Amino acid sequence: MIPKVFKEVIDLGDGREISIETGKLAKQAHGSVVVQSGKCMLLCTVVSNYKQADVDFLPLTVDYREKFAAAGRYPGGFFKREARPSDGEVLTMRLVDRVLRPLFPKDYHSETQVMIQLMSHDDDVMPDAMAGLAASAAIQLSDFPFECPISEARVGRVNGEFVINPTRSQLEISDIDMMIGASADSVMMVEGEMDEISEEEMTEAIKFAHEAIKVQCAAQVKLAEAFGKKEVREYEPEREDADLAQKIHDLAYDKVYAVAKAGSAKHERSAAFSEIKEEIKATFTEEELEDIGGLISKYYSKAEKAAVRDLTLNEGLRLDGRKTTDIRPIWCEVDYLPSTHGSAIFTRGETQALATVTLGTSREANQIDMPSFEGEERFYLHYNFPPFSTGEARPIRGTSRREVGHGNLAQRALKGMVPEDCPYTVRVVSEVLESNGSSSMATVCSGTMALMDAGVQLKKPVSGIAMGLISDADSGKYAVLSDILGDEDHLGDMDFKVTGTADGITACQMDIKVKGLSYEILVNALKQARDGRLHILEKLTDTIATPNTDVKDHAPTMVTRRIPNEFIGALIGPGGKVIQEMQKETETTIVINEDPVTEEGIVEILGVGKKGIDAVMAKIDALLFKPEVGSIYEVKVIKMLDFGAVVEYTEAPGNEVLLHVSELAWERTENVSDVVNMGDVFDVKYFGVDSRTRKEKVSRKAILPKPEGYVARPPRDDKRSGGRDNRGRDNRGRDNRRDDRKPRDDKKEN
């Protein structure tokens, strides 16, 4: 019996639709939906334990996976099975998590799992744009305590027109690629890259996406009502004590306010706050601490947050003594590491990033192999955040989701400024050495300088800044904070990172924690961010104004050469013998690709020093060398034979031709060595392909004067007896057998 299916359809306004369906699949999950657009289908399931976990946070796991079977493909690698998530999948997980997590109650601590799977792929549909919709729709069908439906949408701009959830082909010509997450009332998350757009244009794109998201949220409400909205489950809330909260606030607020106003450094300030907390705890007995110690810590944190926020709103001061628009002191240095192809240090206050650049061939491109996308990146950035950067000691368990996300943001900020004709594959690695606020933006700044130090001809330098917002809905006061500290990151109502050139925004990442943030405040915040970006950009260009004109002496130089398709095999040689020997002899790296359009061979030659590259270019020139009939060329004898000499063109070493003994001189030549010897250099005339021998013909005697009295030998008579065409074999063909020849007797039986 087929179960009853409930379905809602969302019209995207351009002939495309998104459907949300439930009731057919995964019914033991607490909520499940299938979201479909075209042939693309996502299955999302949600489950949350009914027992609260013994933790003080929400143990939420968002998992997004793309199944290779969805695209009719096998997973790569030896084991034909999906393994750890790719960076692309991790980035989608982060996008969904950042919107869902704030909408669960703060005292809800049950282990919760959201699983989103790509079950069917469509080349014209990008599935990550529907992941947030799928997650929220599944939660709406569950009994989870969740504030309101949300959705996410991608917005692009093609030919000046905004597009919701553009196709990949549309995205390739779009100057905006932004993901927006929102509820019907408020924008909550923004992340994306842009082609140097203005703050106003970015705001218009967010508004456009939000209107589409409102429709998607309404569809979820309709689906839940049709399915039968479940009663929200009951759970054990956190213990609360209003009297204790007021007592802690009264004990802590003034002291915290005074420490915050003193404008101290991170560790000094942290120690002072800890001392206040310990003094408060000392007013309680051991029995009380054992009973309500957790509440004391929670209420102290609330009092500390309130005091710091009030200091900023009331006096315009911040934890380190700065005003709201002040940027921390900056110092920069390039060419710090002697062996890298490019390096730079960027230090802003207590945040420091050391970036390195490595230049390579297309062979070093980062291969992307996902069911929804196959391709490669010729520019990519990796971000490392070791525990010592924050003064901690903890085990390293591989690359974290945070490192993937921050690295991707910095990569998107910079990649548009790498010129399309850059011959190299470029890898940037950022090592965060100190962190107190926005190491990802420090990565953008150090990456810019390292690229210019490496000689990568960036179109324009890029800088980045992390911003914060503190607001009070009751009083209407708000403060936008430039270059936020780590402590300011979690106590504000919005934190956002903006990168760009002097002419516009190239990437952004926003997390908005306050409801109903006005677009006026958003635009003002973005404009303040622009002022900060330009200030930081000036510091970068003071350190290195323009990209170095050449790569470093120890860095490889890249030369690209195109050759006709028919010469690719000759350059590679049987089993790769020719190209391997060439690389060994010249100490270069040679990569050959085929242009999919022209089918020409694209030869990349990477080498340190000019000598090796010139040798490879000479070999290619020799390979492509085509002598013209009637022209005279200089040759060198490289082999002596009884019937002539093998010579090579001096302008195309390795390009050989036979100089027949009869073409050495006008006089009859008995021995080749009577006329030429090994290593002799002289001129010959090229006659093209001889019609009789079907081999290339060159002649030395043709450019020598005829001796006096020279008489040419008469031409050979091809009709004379014994000639090739009259050798007495005419009657030996199959059709001329003797008629009186008896047939062969059959073989006798054994």
Element (H, E) at 302: helix 286-315
Q: Rounded CA gap, 414 and 419, in Å?
A: 11
Q: Rounded CA gap, 89 and 67, in Å?
A: 11
> Is 489 assigned a ligand-binding role in the annotation?
yes
Q: How far is CA 190 from CA 2, 353, 490, 565, in A?
A: 40, 25, 17, 47
Tokens of 510: 């926003």
**Residue 150's beta-bridge partner residues?**
183
> Is 683 assigned a ligand-binding role in the annotation?
no
> Exposed/middle/buried for 554, CB within 10 Å: 0-12, 13-18, 19+?
exposed
Return the amino acid letter for 317: L
Contacts of 436 (CB under 8 A, 6+ apart): 266, 349, 350, 351, 390, 485, 486
Residue with tokens 């949350």: 48
Three-state DSSP state, 470? strand
Strands 150-158 and 110-120: unpaired
Q: Rounded CA gap, 665 and 355, in Å?
A: 68
Element (H, E) at 338: none
Q: How far is CA 667 from CA 169, 494, 634, 680, 709, in A?
A: 72, 96, 22, 19, 11
Looking at the chain, the number of H-run helices and the number of E-run strands are: 14, 29
Q: Which of 140, 145, 130, 132 is nearest to 58 (CA)?
A: 145
Q: Rounded CA gap, 601 and 568, in Å?
A: 6
Q: Residue positions in the annotated binding site for Mg(2+)?
A: 489, 495
Q: Residue positions in the annotated binding site?
A: 489, 495
